[in-house]
A and B are shown apart, each in its own frame.
Chain A
């Protein structure tokens, strides 16, 4: 993750893109929630995957 990344900036911009119109208090809470998402997402995002890995649309466990 880029060290310059600012979750609050991202939340503000992406929320507009999604048509969510967050107010300041919501932005603050959602930024905290997004920071938690980032924390929980890290083990998966740190796992290397390549173009050869096929997440088949047919689910066969």
Chain B
């Protein structure tokens, strides 16, 4: 095993190599740590590398294999997590300096523990927008995450480190969270696959919440198979998450090559048609064409749904941090501090109104899913933009850049629908862009089938960014 060959391997391939004895989990962990230490400065994806833990966990996988014991589908697969997930022995930062004063986590959060039980080897914690409030991971405390396709550009956010680490081939698998688009935006800008499951599907216990009624967790990967295996490993009932819906595990990995025959696929029009750059428009068209998607008018409530998500985020997000706003304001991220302060002043009547709009919007989309199985929509209006840029002009519309990245993702998270972001490479020069595949609640299986077909056809792929490739 060499760091060079490791970079391009998927999680599935690494696990197979380890199981069949081509290499050991210890060799993979060592090579991964070497590569991460060497290349991370170029992207600033990691805030901490947990080398001792990684080597110990890898040795445990090797020992289990030597004893002939089952080792799980992610045997020896290196992974890393957004630094709002608890990692035993590591202080959970959530991108802040306020949390830096807290003691290290005593135990792994639910998702980290599940991946470890599946054989995964955690090698570190990943950079993010402070408290997950942002779409660009321009973190003033820990530095910006740089896009592996162009280091002058953002990797998206708030799970920017999770996106960049996978796109740069530092690890094949990461975890992120998505409240308004924080999995789908980095997936789009880094050109990788990202899955935001149905609200309530996966336990968020052992992670720092941003907007409890909108927060989701999910995986990033460079192949649909890896995404499916990780998602299956993450399923399971956890009473510690008050937001989790009791539901049986519904594995999807076996459905990867079931194809799209019989699926009714639509392409959302209207709200999702503009403002859209040429790259996004072409990407949506290509995916829609392959899936034989028919135009479907987005409900008239879509803009109101996005707006409701904005109000709910402002209000709940500020409530989460009201004590910080009162007592440690100077330590908060300058890029989000004023937004949090403004959110704390949102009238209760606006918040309650937004919750009613959310209910109406949810009903409108539920009616749409009576006729459609998968809906196609852009993930972002444009590919990655330069770090520090304040404004964005698309289709003749000029708007604040940072919130504009949620234009097409926010309406969907508002009502908890499952979404898989699929990547198209070289959409605008060297830059990739993503497309959302959206399904009815609990139908992640349909998304895996559609994404698997797109990947098999070569339309969607997530190779390591050229500058980081073997």
Contacts and interface: CB of A to CB of B under 8 A. Distances in A.
Contacts of B353: 44-45, 49
A31 B225 CA distance: 48
Contacts of B352: 55
25 contacts: A11-B345, A18-B325, A18-B326, A26-B338, A30-B345, A34-B345, A36-B400, A37-B339, A40-B403, A41-B307, A41-B314, A41-B350, A44-B305, A44-B308, A44-B311, A44-B350, A44-B357, A45-B311, A45-B350, A47-B301, A47-B307, A54-B359, A55-B358, A59-B213, A60-B245
Majority DSSP secondary structure for residues of A touching B: helix
Given A22-B341, A37-B343, A43 B303 contact: yes
Contacts of B314: 37, 41
Nearest to A21: B326
Contacts of B131: none
A26 B329 CA distance: 11
B344 interface: yes
A60 B360 contact: no
Interface residues of A, number: 33
Interface of A: 10-11, 14-15, 18-22, 26, 29-30, 32-34, 36-37, 40-47, 49, 53-56, 59-61
Interface in B301-337: 301, 303-308, 310-311, 314, 322, 325-326
Interface in B411-427: 415-417
Given A22-B341, A33-B338, A53-B360, A47 B346 contact: no
Give the contact-size bracket for chain B: 35 or more
B325 A20 contact: yes
Contact of A61 (B307, B338, B355, B441): B441
Given A37-B314, A40-B310, A30 B360 contact: no
A3 to B, nearest CB: 18
A14 B416 contact: no
B405 interface: no
B243 interface: yes
A21 B360 CA distance: 38
